[in-house]
Amino acid sequence: METKAEIYSRVGKEIAAVIEGESSATARYASVACLLNLAFEDFFWTGFYIVDPLKPNELVVGPYQGTLGCLRIPFGRGVCGITAQKRETVIVDDVHAFPGHIACDSQTNSEIVVPVFNEVGELAAVLDVDSTKLKNFDIMDKAGLEAICENLLIGVKT
């Protein structure tokens, strides 16, 4: 059986190969959500919230795999909104103990949210991964997902 590190290594290469030369951020976000969701059984909701260009302090749902996600999240609210405000990865072992968590689906028990920056260092989106397991995410997920997000918008105008 593949270890978590091996899965991140494999899926990282798959993602790099699929998005290479693609100029659409949406196509890239959709491909990442799909490949990550296929790679990890424990990922229950996998997708992106995009910074709304018309409301720069608000996230709007982007490509994802999973059950229905809420459409909009203001900066500073919920795990995604806090990540957008802090511009750094947040891991929550138990979402029910996280003040202000936005429960789009009550089956979610833990989550990790990683910021995505564009080529000029502006926040473009956040990657949100939710699991039905408690404490599903650790520093290996942080490293694996941050590596994917770091390269995600290279060569793309957002």
Q: In degrees to the nearest 10, what's the CA dihedral of 45, 96, 104, 141?
A: -20
Q: Are 63 and 26 in contact (CB under 8 A)?
A: yes
d(CA 158, CA 119): 9
Residue 78 near ligand SME by CB under 6 A = yes
Q: Are 116 and 32 in contact (CB under 8 A)?
A: no
Q: Please report whether residue 115 would count as binding ligand SME according to CB under 6 A.
A: no
Q: Which residue stretch of 6-14, 19-27, 35-43, 98-106 sits at the interface with ligand SME (rule: CB under 6 A)?
A: 98-106
Distance CA 140, CA 55 (A): 33
- 102 interacts with ligand SME by CB under 6 A: yes
How far apart are CB 68 and ligand SME at their closest, in Å?
Answer: 8
45 binds ligand SME (CB under 6 A): yes
Among 36, 101, 112, 125, binds ligand SME (CB under 6 A): 101
Residues near ligand SME (CB under 6 A) are 45, 69-70, 73, 78-80, 101-102, 104, 108, 111, 128, 130
